[in-house]
Amino acid sequence: MLEYLWLIPVLTFLGAALNGLFGSRLPKPVVTAIGVGAPLGALLVALGCLWHFWQGGGEAVGQTYWAWTAGSLSIDAAFLLDRLSAVMLFVVTFVGFLIHVYSAGYMSHESGYWRYFSYLNLFMTAMLLLILGDNYLIMFVGWEGVGLCSYLLIGFYYDQVFPPYAGKKAFIVNRIGDFAFLVGMFALIAKFGTLKYSTIFEQVVKDSSLVTGPYVLGLTFASFVALCFFVGAMGKSAQIPLFVWLPDAMAGPTPVSALIHAATMVTAGVYMIVRTNAIYQAAPGVSMFVAVIGAATAIFAATIGLAQNDIKKVLAYSTVSQLGYMFLAAGLGAYSAAIFHLGTHAFFKALLFLGSGSVIHAMGGEQDMRQMGGLKKALPQTYWTYVIGALAIAGIFPFSGFFSKDEILHAAAGNGQWILYIVGLATAGLTAFYMFRSVFLTFHGKFRGTHEQEHHLHESPPVMTIPLWILAVGAAVAGLAGLPGEGNWLHHTFEKLTERPAGLPEAAEHHVSVLVLALVALAVAGTSIWLALRVYGRDRGLAGDQAFAGRWPTVHRLLENKYYVDEIYDRLIVRPLAALSTFFWKGIDATLIDGTVNTAGATAKVAGEVGRFSTTGNVRNYALYFFLGVIALFVWLIL
């Protein structure tokens, strides 16, 4: 079975190609069959592979398809199924398939139905390449591929003004990170002559002094590479300061937000760092930096989430915040916790996004929570699944988020990083608060939309609610994979993958009671939900927001406008760049370069204008020129 590993991305690619090339001429059921069938096939093959993989004791399986050699550099087109990519493979194919099914219902009225499925399948292909590649180059191909698909899908509604702009923004911001990723890869090639994970990490784990020597800019080699990769991850995984594209990416269709901008693509940065853990462990300074940026992003985005009115924007900032959590874990060296949270987050955030999609579908495209309220009655299934997702993200026992978040907070406390712990705890509280704000504003109280919308309200068809329920089950029970204590499955799974390189000092271990931390986290989350209930519950609806805005108008304005980050970037970066570009366009290109070319042309033209009068048409003049020419030649020859 494992020899069919290559089939997984090939299947989704075939789906993308068939729909992309012929989709516009195919009847809709056929498009659906191809678009949903391809990920289903990929899921089945993946499940078969995973079954055999665990049967074989979870030993890494590498498969080389062909070797690509350029001079002394040899990079294989090869796949690697180890425990890390196995977990990712399951998450991506499983959640991906469910979202494809959901999309068949959600997008059924769209005109670009075939185009949508073609892009979405292509995205799956790129994501699978990203996680299955056995070297950084294949990861990079997938990395760029998911970026491209993200751009295409954000700008799916290309006939509107904002989506193409948002897509462009996502692409450009990602490019900044990609550049750093490339530089990091170059450094690895220069040092190791290869990009293959196993070759590099085996050497590093055997002798960490290989990478702890000074390199450039006063950094060690490990720090330099780790920093470059982290900047790459910042772009892809929306961390400070490159997070601005993710909230705007909500302009795409909602299932896209669920699949790409919540469950899979944005977690690629976390995957990359966990994959590169040997180097990060050898770079404690950069790891700390990762943790600090992660924690800062987590709380920063969480506070913005408090005051957003667009249901998808709330979820978008929540995604940024949860990604910060994952980076916090990865930076602290709790790699299994980072992947754990990645997996549980994929379930509950995909669930929440699809739930919001179901709401938007029922509201006829309305995304503003101020126009909603009381949807519980009309959309009971959406409501209950959404609440399960909210409980999971809030970290309420026994839903999955409780375990994964707890693992991260435990890692912070265990490392003695109490400030990071407090920040994480505060973020957990804020998360619970704004998630339940969105629950209460959307589903409770009285309906605040138009009469027409109220008439139109309907529960989504089974093709949408069944994926919701499956994800809800996942969001509820995914925590079982990482039950705390000695039997922590994930921890054991990743033990070998995250082996500490030899020659590094042992990390200090502070013993803190898991139970106490869990109770504290639970208490904070519970209090926050209770507060949300007090402020937004029952029929209060928007009164809570008004009270907030009335009491702290400055804070509220600041949060509602997302700390004016977009405006600051606009002033500090976009406009100076635009001014510089305008200078190069008008000053250099249009004036200097075009001017030179035009002057040359104009000179020739004027010379022609003047010179043409020598052509008198009188043969005798020509004879005279001829004669003068002969004399001139004569003089020149004699002298």
Partner 1 sequence: MTVPISWYLILAAVLFAIGTVGALTRRNGISIFLSIEVMLNAANLTLIAYARQFESHAGQVVVFFVMAVAAAEAAVGLALFIAVFRQRHTIDLNRINLLRW
SS3 call for 300:
helix
Select from 111, 217, 620, 637 the one that contacts partner 1 (CB under 8 A). Answer: 620
- Asked if 197 and 84 count as a contact pair (C-beta separation under 8 A), the reply is no
CA 293, 298, 304, 309 dihedral sign is positive
Is the Cβ of residue 1 or residue 624 nearer to partner 1 in the bound state?
624
Q: Which is nearer to partner 1, 418 or 627 (CB)?
A: 627
Judged by CB under 8 A, the chain residues 587 through 616 that form the site for partner 1 are 612-613, 615-616
Which of 66, 617, 636, 638 forms a contact with partner 1 (CB under 8 A)?
Answer: 617
Question: Residue 618 CB, nearest distance to partner 1 (Å)?
Answer: 5
Judged by CB, which is closer to partner 1: 487, or 617? 617
Q: How far is the CB of 610 from partner 1 (least distance, A)?
A: 11
Least Å distance, CB 619 to partner 1, is 5
- What is the nearest approach in angstroms of partner 1 to the Cβ of residue 620? 6
Q: Which two tokens stand for residue 396?
A: 């309420």
Nearer to partner 1, 111 or 614 (CB): 614
CB of residue 573 to partner 1, shortest distance in Å = 58
Least separation, in Å, of the C-beta of 578 and partner 1?
49
Sign for the pseudo-dihedral over CA of 10, 12, 13, 17:
positive
DSSP bridge pairs for 67: 76
CB closer to partner 1, 511 vs 612: 612
**Nearest distance from C-beta of residue 636 to partner 1, angstroms:** 19
637 counts as binding partner 1 under rule CB under 8 A: no
Whole-angstrom Cα distance, residue 140 to residue 183? 12
Q: Are 428 and 412 in contact (CB under 8 A)?
A: no
Name which of 486 and 609 has its Cβ closer to partner 1.
609
φ, ψ dihedrals at 193, nearest 5° = 70, 15
CB neighbours of 277 closer than 8 A, spacing ≥ 6? 330, 333, 335, 497, 498
What single letter denotes the amino acid at residue 620? R
Binding residues for partner 1 restricted to 427-486, rule: CB under 8 A: none
331 Cβ contact list (under 8 Å, min separation 6): 280, 287, 288, 289, 290, 291, 292, 293, 294
**Minimum distance from CB of 628 to partner 1 (Å)?**
10
Stretch that binds partner 1, among 117-125, 213-221, 338-346, 620-628 (CB under 8 A): 620-628
Torsion of CA 387, 389, 394, 397, to 10 degrees: 90
What does the alpha-carbon distance between residue 219 and residue 67 come to, in Å, rounded to a whole number?
33
Kindly tell me which of 561 and 616 has the beta carbon lying closer to partner 1. 616
Examine residue 69 and tell whether it contacts partner 1 (CB under 8 A). Answer: no
DSSP string, 455-494: HH--PPPHHHHHHHHHHHHHHHHGGGGG-SSTT-HHHHHH
Query: Taking the complex as a whole, how short is the minimal distance between the CB of residue 631 and partner 1, in angstroms?
Result: 10
Sequence letter at residue 264: T
| Residue number with CB closer to partner 1 (217 or 635) | 635
Closest CA to 18 of 8, 9, 7, 26: 26
Categorise residue 333: left if φ over 0, alpha if ψ from -120 to 50, beta otherwise. Answer: left
Looking up tokens 């030179």 gives: 596
CA atoms of 314 and 393, how far apart (whole Å): 13
The distance of closest approach from Cβ of residue 593 to partner 1 in the complex, given in angstroms and rounded to an integer, is 33
Question: By C-beta, is 506 or 609 nearer to partner 1?
Answer: 609
Note whether 172 binds partner 1 by CB under 8 A: no
CA distance 620 to 258: 87
Out of 602, 624, 632, 633, the only residue in the binding site for partner 1 (CB under 8 A) is 624
Q: Is 596 or 616 the residue whose CB approaches partner 1 more closely?
A: 616
Containing H/E element for 21? helix 7-22
Asked if 623 interacts with partner 1 (CB under 8 A), we say: yes
Q: Name the β-bridge partners of 133.
A: 79
Residue 423, token pair as written in the block: 């920040």
**Count of other CB atoms within 10 angstroms of residue 442:** 25
Closest CB to partner 1 among residues 519, 623: 623
User: In this structure, what is the dihedral angle of CA atoms 130, 134, 136, 139, given to the nearest 10 degrees?
Assistant: -10
Q: Which stretch binds partner 1 (CB under 8 A): 179-187, 485-493, 531-539, 623-631?
A: 623-631
Q: Which is nearer to partner 1, 613 or 636 (CB)?
A: 613
Min dist CB 612 to partner 1, Å, is 4
Cα 241 to Cα 174, 262, 403, 582: the distances in Å are: 12, 18, 28, 25
CA distance 337 to 299: 19
Site map 553..592 versus partner 1, x via CB under 8 A: ----------------------------------------
In the chain, what is the straight-line distance between the N-terminal and C-terminal CA atoms, in Å? 92
**Between 523 and 623, CB nearer to partner 1:** 623
Q: Which stretch binds partner 1 (CB under 8 A): 130-138, 215-223, 531-539, 619-627?
A: 619-627
CB of 630 to partner 1, least distance (A): 9
Taking the complex as a whole, the smallest distance from the CB of residue 599 to partner 1 amounts, in Å, to: 24
Distance (Å, whole) CA 424 – CA 410 = 10
Smallest distance, partner 1 to C-beta of residue 624, A: 6
Of 619, 635, 637, 639, which one interacts with partner 1 (CB under 8 A)?
Answer: 619
DSSP 8-state secondary structure symbol assigned to residue 366 = -
Stretch that binds partner 1, among 11-19, 258-266, 294-302, 618-626 (CB under 8 A): 618-626
Q: How many residues of this chain interact with partner 1, rule: CB under 8 A? A: 11
Which stretch in 149-157, 246-254, 299-307, 617-625 sits in contact with partner 1 by CB under 8 A? 617-625
The reply on whether position 618 binds partner 1 by CB under 8 A is yes
Q: Which residues pair with 64 in a beta bridge?
A: 78
Q: Which is nearer to partner 1, 502 or 623 (CB)?
A: 623
Q: Is 627 near partner 1 (CB under 8 A)?
A: yes
Least CB distance to partner 1 at residue 639 (A): 20
Residues lying near partner 1 in the complex (CB under 8 A) are found at 612-613, 615-620, 623-624, 627
